A and B are shown apart, each in its own frame.
Chain A
Amino acid sequence: MAQLSSNLLYIAFFIYFAASIVFAISLFGKKWRKSDEATHSKKWGMWGFTLSAVGFLFQLGYFITRWIAAGHAPVSNLFEFTTFFGMAMVFAFLIIYLIYKSNVIGLFAMPVAIIVIAYASVFPSEIQPLIPALQSNWLKIHVTTAALGEGILAISFAAGLVYLVRTVNQEKASKSTFWLEAVMYTLISTVAFVILSLGFEAAGYSSTYQFVDQNEQQVTVEYTLPALTGPTDGTYVSGNEFGPLVEAPAWMKGEKAAHKLNTLIWSIIGGLVLYGLIRLILRKRIGAAIQPALKNVNEELVDEIQYRAVAIGFPVFTLGALIFAMIWAQAAWTRFWGWDPKEVWALVTFLFYAAYLHLRLSRGWQGEKSAWLAVVGFVIIMLNLVVVNLVISGLHSYA
């Protein structure tokens, strides 16, 4: 069952990939277009939607079979949560597509969902037993609702990105073009990180170092990427004999700081290489390269989709990530609120979208400003997923 489950996830992943390509054809495929523009985009858009929906069904199959195999809802660790988040994004996209029939949202939303699911694959995917705190019906209720809310909000990011690529003036370099490329670079370095991690894992790379931490405990740390930065006064123990090239700066004293810094540096370098290659091939900014394909996109409609996704997603997120969370916390941790980092970041996300709504509804922040806010909102959601779990440890660090 577990094997079937992971196969279904692979299949879903590749179908999503195909769907993204089909959405790209619906927008880019001008040269070999036989029919007129509207029919072409309608026809290919329908295919893109159908593929996305089929992929979603496969992923739903993964979810159900894994649930059966594990005996609990598969949303209990970082791998499971992140895949589910990707699935929620696809689900949210399907709904938005049914309302707005917008191919261009698919072109941006599906690749982002793919990156999210690919990122999930970096985490251990074995079926884990549930610790006592997680043994509750609220596990499935709280986590799925929160993830669905985040998935819908992520569609607003995709729409915001479309708006920016469509409207930012690419004729000369500006703050807007810089930050738009920064967003592209971040997405690309996530891809680079996944490729590097899976590549070195497939090659069986591992080296272990030993060092004395600030509590004067002897600690061993395993690197699955070649060590560029090692722990202060670390000694090589076993495995591949590469590096570390330098020691992590002494002021970085957090738990496993050097290891985390190493992963970050690899992602940055990998991202730079991949981004550089793409720029070499395109010979212009990525934003500038995509822009012509979006020439006919109705920017006002995209702006509305971006806002609508927040309008739909905000209540769902609040219900799942704050209200259900509080009800569960009261049962599991004796208090509904305890300023645990994950709780705080759910509050930060809530406050951010509250500010977004007030800025939009009362201060008239629409169009580009609103699109940038949607991008920042997604960054906050990803921070809560990635940084809060991996860097700041708290009650929620299960993985």
Chain B
Amino acid sequence: MKSNKLLNMRYEGSARRSQTYRTTIVDKIWNFFSSVKVGIWIIVLLLVASAIGTIFPQEMYIPPLSDPTVYYEEQYGILGQLYYDLGFHNLYGSWWYMLLIAALGLSLIVASLDRFVPLYRALKKQRVIRHESFMKRQKYFGVTEVDDNKVELTSIKEALQKKRYNVKEEDGHLFAEKNRFSRWGPYVNHIGLILFLIGGMLRFFPGMYVDEVLWLREGETEQIKGTEEAYYLKSDGFILETYDNNDAKFKDAIEASGQAAVVKNYQTDSVLYKQVGERIAGTDPELKKIKEHPIQVNKPLKFDGYAIYQVDYKLNELQSMTFTMDNKETEESVGELTVNLYNPEKEYELKDGYRVEVMDYFPDFEFNDKGEPTTKSKVPNNPAFILNMISPEHPDGEVAFVAIKQNLEPLGENEYKMSFQNVDTKNVSGLVVRKDNTLWILAIGGAIFMIGVIQGMYWNHRRIWVRRKDNEIWLSSHTNKNWYGLKRELESVTNQTGLQMPIDQSEQKNRY
């Protein structure tokens, strides 16, 4: 044997585009991205970058309302500051991370095309008769001496066919092949990945993706944001259930957790409505009930490509406050009023000429830098009023500042006062409205990827060449992986046919 070197069977030794054209810029870019080495570098860079992004929480996971410019330093010291300064707090949305993903996509396309085409051609027109040196330079190669025609090619052929090989015969030569489709696995899975990446990109096109927050109070009906005013959702109530702390099954775990209670269920009993006809300005829309659905975590309400998820809640949010107007001296009440905190009236008429004017309202009261009363938000977390109490004795009214546990008389001593009686609260469901029109392409991409990866990994492309030379029978064999499986198959075939078991030439080489 002149050449001891085993044949490199990768891509069947066929020429790839990247090895043929090397002059223009397009060629150079093509050649760069066709390199598996470059591909691996892109994978490794993505891997390292992704890992770095988990060292400290990303910006989207830091507590809401905290300022990232100081949060990272406060929480994690100098390293946190450095993390923020380098832009790692928003790593997965950064331009360079996007660029890496784009490079990965390009590499997937170019490297696959560069290899698939020549490999397909080479495997399509394989010759049955192979050169002697080709056979000698396979990993498994064996020679059996036969004195007469005891060992027939037909019996070898049958043995191979029994092993589900596809056998071709030509002029005293056999070529047996199986599971060639496994060679397409990598290309199939790369197509799946490319589709997946395209799906990921589609999200940035308008209309493909809706993500809105919807706060819904018990008993109220709200237009569903993001549905182009077509749908309305009503809450028939928000339910929060906890596990029984004395439940024999979970008692120990709940005690050990140190929590007062463990939540079992968050649920919004919702009714979905669709608007019928055109809405006339200034009137309530005409609604048609579509369906009722208890929205729970893991069980979103689905309709028309949208899904509404249970994600948050507020218990006992203030809805209205009830006061009485009392004479301070006699402590006699002259009337009662209930203020809707979301929509207070300008004036509340009491009996016998008593009335209360709402001069100013601060739903979420605080004093600003200048010491003036102001409101943080429109949500009545801490309602405060400036009221004008009008009585027959004081037709111009007496001004009072009324807030939770506060009663001030900014313009001097009053004869009357507002006394807080009670509040009415409601539970509020925090819902998220989603539409994601990219899901189908992601699903197809993912499915194709899985098919390709299984096709490539769980089957092996095996080939066996047999030829008769004078009174010898030569047999050589190749597989792209799982040599152990090939070896066992060869053992079985040679046993049945009385051939010599081919030797593993790479082992021979190692030994000596």
Contacts and interface: CB of A to CB of B under 8 A. Distances in A.
B253 A127 contact: yes
Contacts of A358: 36, 39-40, 43
B309 interface: yes
A132 B43 contact: no
Contacts of B55: 392
B300 interface: yes
Given A307-B481, A314-B453, A315-B453, A334 B434 contact: yes
A339 interface: yes
A376 to B, nearest CB: 11
A126 interface: yes
Contacts of B481: 307, 311, 361
B54 A363 contact: no
B39 A326 contact: no
A132 B50 contact: no
Contacts of B483: 304
Nearest to B10: A362
Interface string A309-335: 001101100110001001000111011
Interface in B229-269: 243, 247, 249-250, 252-254, 256-257, 262-266
Interface in A192-222: 214
Contacts of B496: none
Contact of B297 (A135, A214, A392, A394): A135
A330 B79 CA distance: 33
A54 B355 CA distance: 85
A338 to B, nearest CB: 8
Contacts of B95: none
Contacts, number: 148
Contacts of A315: 450, 453-454, 457-458
A97 to B, nearest CB: 13
B76 A254 contact: yes
Contacts of B442: 326, 336
A131 B250 CA distance: 12
Given A251-B77, A314-B453, A132 B458 contact: no
Contacts of A341: 54
Contacts of A352: 47
A136 B298 contact: yes
Contact of A69 (B46, B58, B211, B249): B249
Contacts of B54: 341, 344-345, 388, 392
B303 to A, nearest CB: 15
Contact of A332 (B60, B262, B298): B298
A354 B43 contact: yes
B75 interface: yes
Contact of A253 (B47, B58, B80, B449): B80
B335 interface: no
Interface in B387-446: 432, 434, 436, 439, 442, 446
Given A132-B296, A301-B484, A70 B249 contact: yes
Nearest to A250: B77
A351 to B, nearest CB: 4
B120 interface: no
B5 to A, nearest CB: 14
B443 to A, nearest CB: 9
Contacts of B458: 311-312, 315
A16 B249 CA distance: 29
Contacts of B506: 300
Given A126-B256, A129-B243, A315-B453, A348 B50 contact: yes
A253 B297 contact: no
B363 to A, nearest CB: 27
Contacts of A336: 439, 442
A126 B247 CA distance: 13
Contacts of A335: 434, 436
Contacts of B50: 344, 347-348, 351
A318 B265 CA distance: 31
A253 B253 contact: no
Interface in A350-374: 351-352, 354-355, 358-359, 361-363
Contacts of B263: 131-132
A128 interface: yes
Interface in A104-162: 124, 126-129, 131-133, 135-136
A251 B44 contact: no
A340 B439 CA distance: 19
A214 B75 contact: yes
Interface string B329-344: 0000000000000000
Contacts of B257: 128
A100 interface: yes
A254 B75 contact: yes
B58 to A, nearest CB: 6
Given A129-B262, A136-B298, 12 more contacts: A128-B262, A129-B243, A132-B264, A251-B79, A253-B74, A311-B481, A315-B458, A318-B453, A334-B307, A352-B47, A361-B481, A392-B54
18 contacts: A124-B253, A126-B250, A126-B253, A127-B253, A128-B253, A129-B243, A132-B265, A253-B74, A300-B510, A301-B484, A311-B458, A330-B436, A332-B298, A334-B434, A348-B51, A351-B44, A358-B36, A388-B54
User: Which 7 pairs across A and B sit closest by C-beta, in order of nearness?
Assistant: A132-B297, A126-B253, A362-B36, A341-B54, A351-B47, A126-B252, A251-B77
Interface of A: 69-71, 99-100, 124, 126-129, 131-133, 135-136, 214, 250-254, 300-301, 304, 307-308, 311-312, 314-315, 318-319, 323, 326, 330-332, 334-336, 338-341, 344-345, 347-348, 351-352, 354-355, 358-359, 361-363, 388, 392, 394
